[in-house]
Amino acid sequence: MAAMRPGLMGAAHFLLVAGVYALSCAFVPHALANRLVSSANATLIFLLAVAALAGASDVSDAPPIAPLPAAAMECMCAFLAFDVLLGMARGFESSPALMLVHHTLGLASELTSLWFGLGSSCAMVVHLAECSTPLLHLSWLMLKRGCGRTRAFFATGATLVLAFLLGRVLLPAALLARMARPRVRAHWGDHDGVYRFHVAVVLTFWLINCYWFAKLLRATRSAGAPAGPTSKESGSGRDAWTPTDRPETAKHAAATSGVGWDRRRRHLTVQS
């Protein structure tokens, strides 16, 4: 992959994300448009991270950052900036303080890595956690459609729990252990402050993810069915993971779930 001018990929991705979100809002409500954009971005970031790590010889915490990891990091910066601005403008759906801390630390970490040319391996491992994001949003939509008792929802919820555990709990813990090794620490050179900052960010992310995972498990036990965080990342709020008490017909699901198909306007409708 040829090197691009620093910042160009991030700027282009920010405009793309904002444009797709604005276009989606013309057909679906804000809550659904936000999740569609988030899912698409998470899939892209995850695939870029996998591709970068597959060519491990080009990925290292030492400078310089290879073009593919740099592109992934710029795209992640662009989306985090967009999501923060959108959250400040329309309000985060739940846990606004925690979401703001999470996104701000992530943005600062990515920008610091790009500025000093350090920590691309660390960033790619962190990006693997994005595998759980599309599953989270798909589960939310299935609940809105009244599919909380279906086998498809059970499979999606179980996969979400597994992906969240592997990508956001176990993997960051292994990354922290790896970063503590002297050989890995040497890749950061004399930038001790940058190294310590990244360790602190990964540790903070791990603690936040452990908190969210605990809420996911509590929701699963209380609902008696596969469940997960109730809103976009946090796991609480108005989109509760509550299964229905009886099988849903299409008409009843549309009436009770808040999601339906508007034939006149030809788009999905979601009631919060």
**Residue 221, both tokens:** 């036990």
Say whether pLDDT at 24 is over 90. Answer: yes
What's the DSSP call for residue 42?
H
pLDDT average, residue stretch 155-159: 91
| CA pair distance 101, 178, nearest whole angstrom | 24
**Selected residue with higher pLDDT from 202 and 270:** 202
CA angle at 15 for the pair 87 and 25, rounded to the nearest 5°: 55
Say whether pLDDT at 268 is over 70. Answer: no
| CA pair distance 32, 158, nearest whole angstrom | 22
**Selected residue with higher pLDDT from 262 and 184:** 184
Q: How confident is the model at residue 5 (pLDDT cuts 50, 70, 90)?
A: low
> What pLDDT score was predicted for residue 264?
47
Angle between helices 96-116 and 192-223 (to 10 degrees): 150
| CA pair distance 237, 213, nearest whole angstrom | 15
| CA pair distance 36, 79, nearest whole angstrom | 13
| CA pair distance 222, 242, nearest whole angstrom | 9
Q: What percent of the chain has pLDDT over 70?
A: 76
Closest CA to 71 of 100, 51, 101: 51
> What pLDDT score was predicted for residue 138?
93
Torsion over CA: 10, 166, 216, 158 (sign): positive
Angle between helices 120-127 and 192-223 (to 10 degrees): 10
Report the mean per-residue pLDDT for the chain.
Answer: 81
Say whether pLDDT at 256 is over 80. Answer: no
Say whether pLDDT at 26 is over 60. Answer: yes
| CA pair distance 167, 116, nearest whole angstrom | 26
> What pLDDT score was predicted for residue 221?
66
Peptide bond into 63 cis (omega under 30): no
Q: How confident is the model at residue 144 (pLDDT cuts 50, 70, 90)?
A: confident
Q: How confident is the model at residue 238 (pLDDT cuts 50, 70, 90)?
A: very low
Q: How confident is the model at residue 148 (pLDDT cuts 50, 70, 90)?
A: confident
**Residue 54, both tokens:** 């597959």
| Helix (H) or strand (E) run with residue 55 in it | none
Backbone angles phi, psi at 15, to 5 degrees: -65, -40
pLDDT average, residue stretch 33-60: 88
CB-based burial label for 113 (10 Å; 0-12, 13-18, 19+): buried
**CA Rg value for the chain:** 20
Q: What percent of the chain has pLDDT over 90?
A: 53
Q: Indicate the pTM of the whole model.
A: 0.78
Q: How confident is the model at residue 147 (pLDDT cuts 50, 70, 90)?
A: confident
> What pLDDT score was predicted for residue 90?
87
Which ranges of 55-144 does DSSP label H, i.e. alpha helix?
67-90, 96-116, 120-127, 133-144
> What pLDDT score was predicted for residue 85?
94
User: Which residues are CB-neighbours of 83 under 8 A, at least 6 positions away?
Assistant: 38, 103
36-45, 77-86, 248-257: segment of lowest average pLDDT: 248-257
17-26, 39-48, 151-160: segment of lowest average pLDDT: 151-160
Which ranges of 117-191 does DSSP label H, i.e. alpha helix?
120-127, 133-144, 151-164, 171-179, 182-185
Closest CA to 120 of 181, 164, 56: 56
Say whether pLDDT at 56 is over 70. Answer: no
9-23, 49-63, 76-90: segment of lowest average pLDDT: 49-63
